[in-house]
Chain A
Amino acid sequence: EPEVTQTPSHQVTQMGQEVILRCVPISNHLYFYWYRQILGQKVEFLVSFYNNEISEKSEIFDDQFSVERPDGSNFTLKIRSTKLEDSAMYFCASSDRTAGDYEQYFGPGTRLTVT
């Protein structure tokens, strides 16, 4: 069964450093998303991406964040200068408009720890 994959599974970084989280969406999907979940809190939407551009972004997704689809398979989230409060689980998801109500399938996540 096709699945979304993410690397790394855990990333530890120092405050102020740049991090890039990587995702490989399901191969025939066209819509890509990033969500995050701070420990003990609910899953929050960050950004959606379609046709090589951002479709929607949340208030969390400020100038420190960017997304990119550098090739035909990868989808990345970059945080330019990490803050302590960026520590969270980051989930990538993808969907295909032909799959019911745009059902989104999530990757296993990257746990980001900012020290």
Chain B
Amino acid sequence: RKEVEQDPGPFNVPEGATVAFNCTYSNSASQSFFWYRQDCRKEPKLLMSVYSSGNEDGRFTAQLNRASQYISLLIRDSKLSDSATYLCVVNKKAAGNKLTFGGGTRVLVKP
């Protein structure tokens, strides 16, 4: 089983709509969770950290379910500029602070 699994998509989303997708992780020792955004051939950019209580940043809401080992991201009122690949990332916070990336979920927002 892959350490971090994501539906690759693409999720085709009408502008203004809401889209949500999940990510599952296999290592229960994982301690920190993040969503990064990656545009084509660009670097991953931190979108938000994911906390146990769930957190919101503007139109973006992240949830963490430790019991089921999944993380979700919801995007409300989608903008054309939200088109990107969303990377689910976990960190075991071991000595090296290594990030483990999922393969990404591609989102295409269309007018």
Measured in the bound complex, the distance between the Cα atoms of B46 and A89 in whole Å is 18
Query: Are the C-beta atoms of A102 and B101 separated by less than 8 Å?
Result: no
Query: Are the C-beta atoms of B43 and A103 separated by less than 8 Å?
Result: no
Total interface residues on B, CB under 8 Å, equals 24
Measured in the bound complex, the distance between the Cα atoms of B34 and A35 in whole Å is 16
B95 at the A interface (CB under 8 A): yes
Total interface residues on A, CB under 8 Å, equals 29
Contacts of B1 in A (CB 8 A): none
Quick one: closest A residue to B45, CB to CB?
A106
B81 at the A interface (CB under 8 A): no
Query: Are the C-beta atoms of B32 and A102 separated by less than 8 Å?
Result: yes
Q: Which of B23-46 contact A (CB under 8 A)?
A: 31-32, 34, 41-46
Query: Are the C-beta atoms of A91 and B43 separated by less than 8 Å?
Result: yes
A2 at the B interface (CB under 8 A): no
Query: Are the C-beta atoms of B101 and A55 separated by less than 8 Å?
Result: no
Query: Are the C-beta atoms of A109 and B43 separated by less than 8 Å?
Result: yes
Contacts of B95 in A (CB 8 A): 55-56
Chain B interface SS verdict (over half):
loop
Binding site for B on A (CB under 8 A): 31, 33, 35, 41-45, 47-48, 55-58, 89, 91, 93, 95, 100-109, 111
Query: Are the C-beta atoms of A103 and B49 separated by less than 8 Å?
Result: yes
Measured in the bound complex, the distance between the Cα atoms of B91 and A56 in whole Å is 13
Measured in the bound complex, the distance between the Cα atoms of B42 and A35 in whole Å is 13
Measured in the bound complex, the distance between the Cα atoms of B99 and A31 in whole Å is 13
| Given A56-B94, A101-B91: A45 and B99 interface contact (C-beta under 8 Å) | yes
Measured in the bound complex, the distance between the Cα atoms of B46 and A12 in whole Å is 29
Complex partner residue of A103 from B41, B46, B102, CB under 8 angstroms: B46
Query: Are the C-beta atoms of A108 and B43 separated by less than 8 Å?
Result: yes
| Given A48-B97, A91-B43, A108-B42: A42 and B102 interface contact (C-beta under 8 Å) | yes
Measured in the bound complex, the distance between the Cα atoms of B99 and A95 in whole Å is 12
With both chains docked as a complex, state the minimum distance between the C-beta of B28 and any C-beta of chain A, in angstroms.
Answer: 17
List 20 interface pairs A-B (beta carbons < 8 Å), by A numbering: A31-B97, A33-B98, A42-B104, A43-B87, A43-B99, A43-B101, A47-B96, A55-B97, A56-B94, A57-B96, A101-B31, A101-B91, A103-B49, A104-B46, A104-B99, A105-B46, A106-B43, A106-B44, A108-B42, A109-B42
